[in-house]
Structure formats: C-alpha cells, structure tokens
C-alpha cells in the first residue's frame, strides 16, 4: 500500500522528528488542568535541556508555581540502554536526593500528558504507515499510523498523527489505549509559530476522553539551540541554584 | 433488566403458581366427571367444565390476587434485583391466570371432544378419587377430636418461634454461597489466612478546597486513624493511605537530618528567563560557546540510603550508669507508651540518634524540628514530597500537586458481619469526631456493599412480609366481611413463616438475598392454600352441615392442595444438590414451606372453624361480593 504514495510513513515521521531536533532548548511552560466541570488549576515550570556528545538528553526542570512547590527542581539524565537517572531538590528541606525515574506511562504532574509524551519521540520505536492524505484544520496533512514495534512494553496500541505537509509538524495526534484499543486521548496543536527556525506549537491541548479532563500546555517563552553552560545539568546546580565557574 | 441469582427463580415460581391454579380446576372437573356412571358426551363435558371453573373461579382469582399483591410488595425493597423479581413474578401471575381461565378450558374441551366413557378411566378414577382414604380420615379425626389440643400446640409453636428470632443469622458474604470444599472457597481461605485478605473497605475523604488534603494536621489524623483501627480490630491487616507515603518520604528525605537544626543559607530562586535572577540563561558569564561539551556534567552520588553511614551523633563508648539511664529515659519518652515492648524501646533509642531516619518516621507536624517556622511551610514540604511520586499516587489522591480527595483502603482477612460492624463503627466514630468542618467522608468497598446488602435485605424483607401479611388480611377481611376470618386466613401463613424461622435457626442457615425469598414465597403459597380452603368452606357451608363439610373439603380442595404441595415440594427439594449453598437452602426451605403451608391450611383452619363454628358465620353473612363473582 505504501508504494502508492510519493513518501512513506517512515519518511514522514523521520522528517517530522528531525526538523524539530535541537541541541538545546529553554522553555517556560504553563499547564492549565481543566476538569470535567470546567474548574482550572494552573502549574508553571521552566525546563532547560541539551544533548550531550552521545546524543543523550539532560534536562533540568524548575517549578515556578503553585507557591508550595515553587523552586522544586528535577534533574534528569537520559541513559542509553538503562533507566534514566533522576534527582530532586526540595526547597523546604534545602535537600537533594536521587530518586527512581518516573515511569513513562505515569501522568506528568497530574496533567493529561504522560512522562512519555513529554520526552522526545523516537521514530525507530514504531512502524509508521501513511494511511491517507486529508485536509485538517484547513491544512493539507499526512495521516500516519504508528504502531509500536515492541507491543509488550509500549504504553499504547497505536498513534494516529496528522502531520502538516508543509511544516511537518503534528497538528493532531490520537492515542489509542493498549488494552481496549479504543481512542484514549487526543492532542491538538495550535498557534504554530516559527521560533529560531523551528515550527513550534505554542498551545497543545490534550484531552482524556474517558474522564473529560484536559490539559492546555502553553509555551510562554522558548529558545532553541542557545549555548548553555553544562553546569546547569549538575547536581551542584540542582542543590545550590548556582552554576560553577 | 439482567438475569441475576434472584430473577433466575422467577420461572420456577411461575411454574409453581400456574400449576396450583390448573390443578384446582382440573381436580374439580375430574371429580364431577368421575361421578358419572354412563357415557358423557362433549356437550355435557362442557357443562361440567363450566361448573367446575365457576366453583373454583373465586378461589383461584383471589389466590392470584393475593400472590400478585405479595410479589408487588417487593416494590418497597431498596434493592433493584428484588424489585425486578417482584415485577416479573406479578406479570407471571397475571399471565398464569390468563392461561388457566382462557386457554386451558378450550384445551380440556378439545381433549374430550369425543366424550368420555367411564370404563376406560377406572384406574384414573381410583388414583385421583379414592386414594385419599386413610390419610384424610386421619386429618378429619384430628380436626374433629383434637382441635383444642391443636390450637394450644400451635400457640406454643408461635411463642417458641418468637424466641428464635434473635438467633436468626444473616450473611451476604458471597463466598459463603460456595461449599467449603470448592476451589473458590479454598482459594479465598488461603488469601485470608496466609495473606492480607480479600475484604476491602474504602473511605473517600473530600475537602471543599483545592489542595485541602495537603495539610500536615489532617494527614496526622489519617495516621492516628490507621493505627487505632489496626490496634482495635485484629481482622484489619493493612491500611493504605497518603499518610504511609508521607511518612516513608519523610524518613528517606531526612535520613541524615538533625532534628531542630536550622539551615541559614539563602534559598536561591531560579528563573531561567529573567535577566536579573539566579540561574538566568542570559547571564553571559555562565555560558560560553563550548557549552555542548559533556565535560561540565558533575554528579554527586546521593544514592546513599544505608543506615550505617547516616549517623549524625556518635554514641560515646564507656558511658556511666547515669548516662545510660538518661539515654534509656529519652528512648522511653520517644516510645510514647508507659509499657513499651523491647522493639518499641529499640525504636525509641534509634530516634535519639536518627538511626536510619528513625527520628523522622512520622507525619511532620512540628515545624521547628524541620527548620521551618509555620504550618504552611510544613504543608509546602508535604506538597514537595507528593511531587516525588507524581503519577504514582492515583490510588490515594486525586491530584499530584493539589489533591482535594483522598482514599483510605482498609484490607480485612475476615468479612463476617460482626467484624464489619466493628470496623464501620470505628470509622464512623473516628471521622464523625475528627473530620474538619465542611469536609465529607464516604464509605465504600466490596465488604461495605455486603454489609449494607445484609442490612437492606433484612429491612426490606421485614417490610415486605409485614406489607404482604396486611394485604392478605385486608383482602380476606373484605371478601368475608369478617376481620376474624381475615386473621384465621393469616394463621397458616404465619405458621409457615414460624416453621421456616425455626428451621433456619436449627439448621444454622443464614438469610441472604436468595434464602430470604422463601419467606415471601411462604406467604404467597400459604395465602393461596388458605384462600382455597376458606372459599371451599364458604361454598360447602351453604350446601351441607358442618360435620359433612370436612369430608367434602378434603375430597376436593384438600386433595388438590396436597397434590400440588407434594409435587412442587419434591421438585424443589432437588435443589439441595446445587453447588451454590443458598440455592440448596432455598430448595429445602421451599419444599418445607409447601408442606407446612398445605398442612396448616388443611388442619389449622378447620380446627379453628370447628371451635368457633365459623361455618355458621359464613351462612349468615351470605358474602355478597362472592355472590357477584359467582
């Protein structure tokens, strides 16, 4: 079937991931958690991330709000072939501890996003099939189905992504439940803006259909490929808030 | 509606009810038919059939009305399956009456379309008409000569049954539906004796404020609740709550802390996007063009939770008695009990030196111990503990950062009524007293459902029995225009209920959703038989003397009742072979109630009539309503 198209599903996803890849990112994010009754709870955090020479990500995240968790910091070091390393700093105790890295399936800070959603997607973990081409939200899109190669360890049965043909940015993604195979969550990207040469969805709304709960993730500030002092990604910075000279 | 263990009984009951109605009509028909010595043509057979239907029409209609009313009383039940059962049975009774009066007579006429010759049916005649002999003679003798004795005996029986009421056991634990040697029961038993058990009670506590659960004082209350519940109820094997997690985190995070020590270093607040604050990515001095190198990544090994290296104080060797005594006193104070066990004393001793975080194995409630100043700062600390396990605490809180609901899960290795009563009473007493104003708590879980079902079944059964008895009395009273006859009509029913009660107590059987239905069925069947006897009495009292009524009653109605009761009882007794205990109990009790009800109707009512000369009352009363129906 794939021979019918000029481009394959694999090529689309490879390109979509490649053009969004950066050496470093700085983000200021607001998450609005909206329950089924419309009640909104807001959380804000800033994230710095960069790739080391081995292509592994290092991330430091700092909570800005709510007030009782302000300045709580996480440091995550991605490891190839084994679990990530993670440390936390608790401002109330002024202490840092190494902790077990969060499960990719777990909810990210009570939101509708999982830790897996927040990490970088890897095109080689799924098989991608171009299902069709169609207009979505007035944009010409490829519709690609991604099925995990390792069904056992995967957290979902499949993804269906609407990739903008011109910008290669996913503007809609459907997540299908691992067990029931039914549509579980839907992510919609809006306000897609060119920042530092990268098309960036400034607002992403993730809706969990079974609960009616949704999370609006808004990027307030973002910088790509800026030079960052590696000292940010150290336990010393995590503990003291200061970068060693 | 879906098929349940209860609605499964509906077709069986309709079979019983329907067969009772048809047996009454058929027995009267054959009785009249077999009195003929010559050939009877189809026209005469139609006349006999018409006469037979007319004679039993009233009693069958009334019996149907009573049974329908009895089943309708299930509508008072708070339990959906019981209401459905009542509705289905009522519809079934209506359909049975329709079949008996509209469909059955043409079928009988069709059967005898060529007429009937007596010589061909001698054996049937003997079977149906004359086998009554000795047994009914005995009943007649009993009623005519021992009526006073019978009434005294029944009164004693009623009093005895009344004394058995407190001993009646109830139980909705589904596992008791299975036999002890079944694999389901054995597995359940293993889980309760070797593991934490299968019983679950949940408590959901809701705060009116977002993040309200993050309150050290409230979490301390959960901790106290968990401790006291386990202390006072040996069946409680585990209490899972947010407090366990907070205690564990507090211990781990303060592994190397010194109580009441303050850290005066300035907290650095980070904002990567600000020019002026710490951590700014725009501060050029902290960034350079070679930043993509991994050389700058420096990590300390903080993965050290071993107690051996966490000593903050060194215990001096060579302590004198006074110093050892002081240490023991301090350890004793840490145990917060006057009579500590050796283990508690060791734990108290460990707290002195925060050995392996022992001094922090608690819900933080004292800000100063943590170098903090206010309770709000303590609550912020708890929020930060929650972040540590973000995404993993869905079992106990509804939000990782600002929960307003928390779930406490209690595990039990015993789900008996007494255990559940104690546990639920403890929960209610504690949280009624301790829950903050405007907060709410709700109790759920599988064990609670069993417990509430148990209460509801008893409650609904009492209501349904009282309602049905009243309606039966009302209908008989209206029809007979005598409240006394109404009460007499109730006697076989009450007698049957008392018999069941005594059988349940004596057999150590428990009332549950299925077995409790036997009471309702006993009322339905008892009312059915009582009506047949009362109407037959009325009919016969207008034709003959009282001393002849009994013989005629037993020859017609009595025989029909006995045949119906025995055939159904034998059929239902087969249920004792069921793998489900309630079904076996139901079968046995149903069979018993059929026998008791039929005997009570055939003996008790005539015995009382014999003493009160009710036959005369029937004659005088004329029964105008009955006359209209006839």
Answer whether residue B293 is part of any domain: no
In a domain, B61, yes or no: yes
Contact A102 B390 (CB under 8 A): yes
Structure token digits, residue B625 = 């309503």
What residues pair up with A186 in beta bridges, in sequence order?
A174, A207
- Same domain assignment for residues B497 and B622: yes
> What percentage of chain B reaches a pLDDT higher than 90?
12
B458 with B415, same domain: the answer is no
The CATH number for B552's domain is 1.20.1640.10
Query: Are B103 and B217 in the same domain?
Result: no
Predicted confidence (pLDDT) at residue B630 exceeds the cutoff of 60: no
Q: Let me know whether B68 and B97 are in one domain.
A: yes
Residue A175: which of A108, A102, A113, A103 has the closest Cα?
A: A113
Is A22 part of the contact surface with chain B (CB cutoff 8 Å)? no
- Per-residue confidence (pLDDT) for residue B446, from 0 to 100: 78
Does residue B344 belong to the interface with chain A, where contact is any CB pair within 8 Å? Answer: no
* Partner residue facing A92 (CB), from B269, B286, B377: B377
Interface with B, mutate which of A25, A28, A92 (most B CBs under 10 A): A92
Does one domain contain both B227 and B141? no
A106 closest CB neighbour out of B285, B301, B392: B392
pLDDT at B123: 44
pLDDT for residue B425: 93
Confidence of residue B310 (pLDDT cuts 50, 70, 90): very low
For residue B367, which residues of chain A lie inside 8 Å, CB to CB?
A: none
Tell me which chain A residues have a C-beta less than 8 angstroms from the C-beta of B378.
92
Same domain for B545 and B560, yes or no, is: yes
Tell me, rounded to whole angstroms, the distance of Cα B309 from its chain centroid.
56
Long-range contacts of A217-221 (CB under 8 A, 24+ apart): A217/A29, A217/A30, A217/A31, A217/A111, A217/A113, A218/A29, A218/A30, A218/A31, A218/A32, A219/A27, A219/A28, A219/A29, A220/A28, A220/A29, A220/A30, A220/A44, A221/A26, A221/A27, A221/A28, A221/B273
Chain B residues close to A50, C-beta within 8 Å:
291-292
Q: Which two tokens stand for residue A100?
A: 């077990």
Beta carbons of A96 and B278 less than 8 Å apart: no
Query: Is pLDDT at B559 greater than 70 in this prediction?
Result: yes
pLDDT digits (tens, 9 = 90+) for B349-385: 777 777 777 888 889 999 998 888 899 999 999 999 8
Contacts of A28 in chain B (CB under 8 A): 272-273
Q: State pLDDT tens for residues B210-269.
A: 889 999 999 999 999 999 999 998 889 889 999 999 998 898 888 888 888 877 777 788
Is position B334 within any domain? no
User: Which two tokens mark A216?
Assistant: 């609006």
Handedness of CA B582, B584, B585, B590 (dihedral sign): positive
- Number of folded domains in chain B? 2
Q: Tell which wins on pLDDT, A49 or B166.
A: A49
DSSP string, B309-332: G--SSPPPSS--HHHHHHHHHHHH
Per mean pLDDT, which of A127-141, B92-106, B541-555 is the most reliable? A127-141
β-pairing, A198-208 vs B405-412, is unpaired
Q: Which domain holds residue B491?
A: 7-167+450-629
Yes or no, beta carbons of A69 and B263 under 8 Å apart: no
Mean pLDDT of B120-137: 51
**Closest approach of B245 to chain A, Cα-based (Å):** 15
**What is the C-alpha to C-alpha distance for residues B100 and B56, in angstroms, rounded to an integer?**
11
| B459 and B412 in a common domain | no
Each domain of chain A, given as residue ranges in start order, spans 2-240
Strand ranges (E), chain A? 24-34, 40-51, 57-65, 73-77, 85-90, 95-100, 126-136, 139-148, 156-164, 170-177, 183-195, 198-208, 214-224
The minimum CA-CA distance between B386 and chain A, rounded to whole Å, is: 10
Interface of A with B in 123-152 (CB under 8 A): none
Q: Does a structural domain hold residue B319?
A: no
Same domain, B206 and B116: no
What is the CA A73 to chain-centroid distance, rounded? 18
Q: B405, B423, B444: which is the final residue of a domain? A: B444
Output the pLDDT for position B221. Answer: 95
Same domain for B106 and B219? Answer: no
ipTM score: 0.83
B569 neighbors B595 (Cβ within 8 angstroms): yes
Residue A192 is predicted with a pLDDT of 93
Answer yes or no: is pLDDT of B325 > 70: yes
Question: Which pLDDT score is estimated for B355?
Answer: 76
- State which CATH number among 1.10.8.80, 3.40.50.150, 2.50.20.10, 2.130.10.30 fits the domain covering A2-240: 2.50.20.10
In a domain, B43, yes or no: yes
Tens of pLDDT, residues B407-424: 999 998 887 778 888 999
- The bridge status of strand A24-34 relative to strand A40-51 is antiparallel
Peptide bond into A66 cis (omega under 30): yes
Instruction: Mark which of B417, B444, B471 sits at the end of a domain.
Output: B444
Percent of chain B with pLDDT over 70: 82
Q: Does B385 touch chain A (CB under 8 A)?
A: yes
Q: Does residue B162 sit in the same domain as residue B212? A: no
Distance CA B328, CA B319 (A): 12
Question: B181-195, pLDDT tens digit by residue?
Answer: 777 777 777 777 777
Q: Give A93's contacts in chain B (Cβ within 8 Å).
A: 253-254, 257, 370-371, 381, 384
Q: What is the pLDDT of residue B628?
A: 34
Residues 48-107 of A with CB under 8 A from B: 48, 50-54, 58, 62-64, 66-73, 77, 85, 87-88, 90-99, 102-103, 106-107
Domain boundary, last residue among B399, B419, B444: B444
Residue A177 distance to chain B (closest CA, Å): 18
| pLDDT(B582) > 80 | no
Q: What is the pLDDT of residue A122?
A: 67
* A239 token code pair: 């503990």
pLDDT, tens digit (0-9, with 9 covering 90-100), for B281-293: 765 444 443 334 4
- List CB contacts (< 8 A) between A110 and chain B: 390-391, 399-402
Are residues B153 and B247 both part of a single domain? no
Query: Is the CB of A107 less than 8 angstroms away from the CB of B400?
Result: yes
Put simply, the chain B residues between 462 and 521 with a CB less than 8 A from any chain A CB are none
> What's the mean pLDDT when you consider all of chain A?
87
Q: Per this entry, what is the length of chain B?
A: 630
Q: What is the pLDDT of residues A179-214, one digit of tens each?
A: 889 999 999 999 999 998 999 999 999 999 988 899
Distance from CA of B379 to the nearest CA of A (A): 8
Are B482 and B613 members of one domain?
Answer: yes
- The pLDDT of residue A64: 93
- Other C-beta atoms closer than 10 Å to the C-beta of A213 total 19
Supply A151's token pair: 């069904």
* Chain B interface includes A200 (CB < 8 A): no
Confidence of residue A13 (pLDDT cuts 50, 70, 90): very high
Q: Do B401 and A64 touch (CB under 8 A)?
A: no
Average pLDDT, chain B: 77
């Amino acid at each position: 079937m794939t021979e019918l198209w000029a481009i394959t599903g694999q090529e689309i996803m490879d390109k979509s991931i490649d053009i969004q890849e950066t050496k470093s990112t700085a983000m200021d994010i607001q998450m609005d958690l909206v329950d089924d009754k419309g009640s909104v709870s807001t959380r804000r955090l800033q994230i710095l991330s960069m790739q080391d020479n081995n292509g592994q990500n290092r991330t430091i995240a700092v909570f800005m709000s709510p007030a009782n968790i302000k300045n709580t910091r996480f440091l995550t070091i991605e490891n190839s072939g084994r679990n990530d390393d993670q440390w936390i700093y608790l401002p109330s105790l002024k202490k840092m501890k190494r902790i077990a890295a969060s499960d990719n399936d777990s909810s990210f800070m009570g939101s509708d996003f999982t830790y897996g959603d927040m990490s970088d997607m890897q095109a080689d973990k799924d098989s991608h099939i171009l299902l069709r081409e169609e207009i979505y939200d007035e944009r010409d899109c490829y519709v690609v189905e991604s099925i995990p190669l390792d069904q056992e360890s995967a957290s979902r049965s499949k993804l269906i992504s609407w990739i903008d043909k011109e910008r290669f940015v996913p503007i809609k993604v459907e997540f299908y439940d691992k067990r029931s195979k039914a549509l579980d969550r839907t992510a919609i990207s809006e306000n897609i803006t060119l920042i530092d040469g990268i098309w960036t969805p400034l607002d992403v709304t993730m809706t969990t259909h079974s609960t009616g709960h949704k999370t609006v993730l808004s990027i307030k500030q973002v910088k790509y490929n800026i030079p960052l002092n590696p000292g940010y990604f150290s336990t010393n910075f995590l503990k003291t808030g200061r970068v060693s000279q | 509606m879906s098929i349940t263990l209860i609605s499964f009984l509906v077709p069986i009951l309709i079979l019983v009810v329907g067969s009772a109605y048809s047996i009454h009509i058929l027995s009267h028909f054959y009785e009249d038919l077999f009195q003929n010595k010559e050939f009877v043509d189809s026209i005469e057979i139609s006349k006999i059939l018409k006469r037979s239907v007319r004679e039993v029409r009233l009693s069958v209609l009334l019996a149907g009305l009573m049974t329908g009313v009895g089943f309708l009383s299930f509508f008072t039940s708070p339990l959906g399956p019981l209401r459905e059962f009542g509705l289905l049975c009522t519809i079934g009774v209506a359909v049975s009456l329709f079949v008996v009066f509209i469909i059955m007579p043409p079928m009988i006429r069709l059967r005898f379309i060529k007429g009937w010759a007596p010589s061909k049916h001698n054996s049937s005649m003997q079977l149906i008409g004359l086998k009554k002999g000795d047994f009914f003679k005995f009943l007649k003798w009993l009623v005519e000569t021992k009526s006073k004795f019978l009434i005294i005996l029944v009164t004693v029986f009623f009093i005895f049954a009344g004394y058995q009421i407190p001993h009646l056991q109830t139980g909705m634990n589904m596992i008791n539906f299975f036999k002890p040697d079944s694999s389901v029961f054995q597995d359940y038993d293993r889980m309760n004796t070797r593991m934490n058990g299968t019983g679950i009670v949940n408590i959901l506590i809701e705060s009116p404020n977002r993040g309200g659960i993050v309150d050290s004082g409230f979490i301390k209350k959960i901790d106290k609740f968990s401790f006291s519940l386990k202390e006072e109820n040996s069946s409680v094997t585990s209490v899972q709550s947010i407090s366990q997690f907070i205690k564990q985190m507090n211990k781990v995070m303060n592994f190397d802390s010194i109580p009441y020590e303050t850290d005066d270093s300035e907290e650095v607040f980070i904002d990567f996007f600000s020019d002026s604050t710490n951590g700014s990515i725009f501060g050029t001095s902290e960034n350079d063009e070679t930043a993509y190198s991994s050389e700058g990544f420096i990590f300390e090994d903080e993965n050290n939770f071993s107690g051996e290296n966490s000593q903050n104080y060194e215990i001096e060797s060579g302590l004198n008695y006074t110093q050892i005594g002081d240490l023991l006193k301090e350890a004793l104070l840490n145990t917060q009990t006057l009579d500590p066990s050796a283990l508690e004393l060791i734990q108290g001793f460990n707290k002195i030196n925060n050995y392996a975080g022992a001094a922090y194995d608690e819900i933080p409630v004292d800000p100063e111990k943590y170098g903090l100043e206010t309770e709000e700062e303590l609550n912020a600390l708890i929020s930060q503990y929650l972040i540590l396990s973000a995404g993993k605490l869905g079992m106990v809180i509804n939000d990782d950062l600002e929960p307003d609901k928390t779930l406490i899960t209690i595990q039990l290795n015993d789900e008996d009524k007494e255990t559940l009563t104690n546990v639920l009473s403890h929960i209610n007493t504690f949280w009624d007293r301790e829950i903050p104003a405007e907060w709410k708590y709700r109790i759920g879980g599988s064990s609670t459902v069993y417990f509430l079902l148990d209460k509801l079944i008893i409650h609904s059964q009492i209501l349904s029995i009282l309602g049905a008895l009243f309606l039966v009395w009302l209908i008989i009273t209206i029809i007979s225009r005598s409240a006394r006859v109404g009460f007499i009509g109730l006697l076989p029913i009450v007698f049957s209920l008392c018999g069941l009660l005594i059988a349940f107590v004596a057999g150590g059987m428990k009332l549950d959703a299925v077995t409790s239905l036997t009471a309702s069925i006993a009322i339905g069947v008892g009312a059915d038989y009582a009506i047949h006897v009362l109407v037959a009495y009325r009919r016969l009292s207008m034709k003959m003397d009282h001393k002849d009524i009994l013989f005629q009653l037993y020859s017609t109605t009595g025989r029909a009742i006995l045949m119906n009761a025995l055939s159904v009882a034998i059929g239902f007794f087969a249920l004792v072979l069921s793998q489900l205990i309630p079904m076996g109990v139901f079968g046995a009790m149903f069979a018993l109630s059929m026998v008791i009800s039929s005997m009570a109707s055939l003996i008790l009512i005539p015995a009382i009539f014999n003493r009160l000369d009710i036959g005369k009352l029937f004659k005088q009363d004329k029964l105008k309503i009955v006359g209209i129906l006839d």
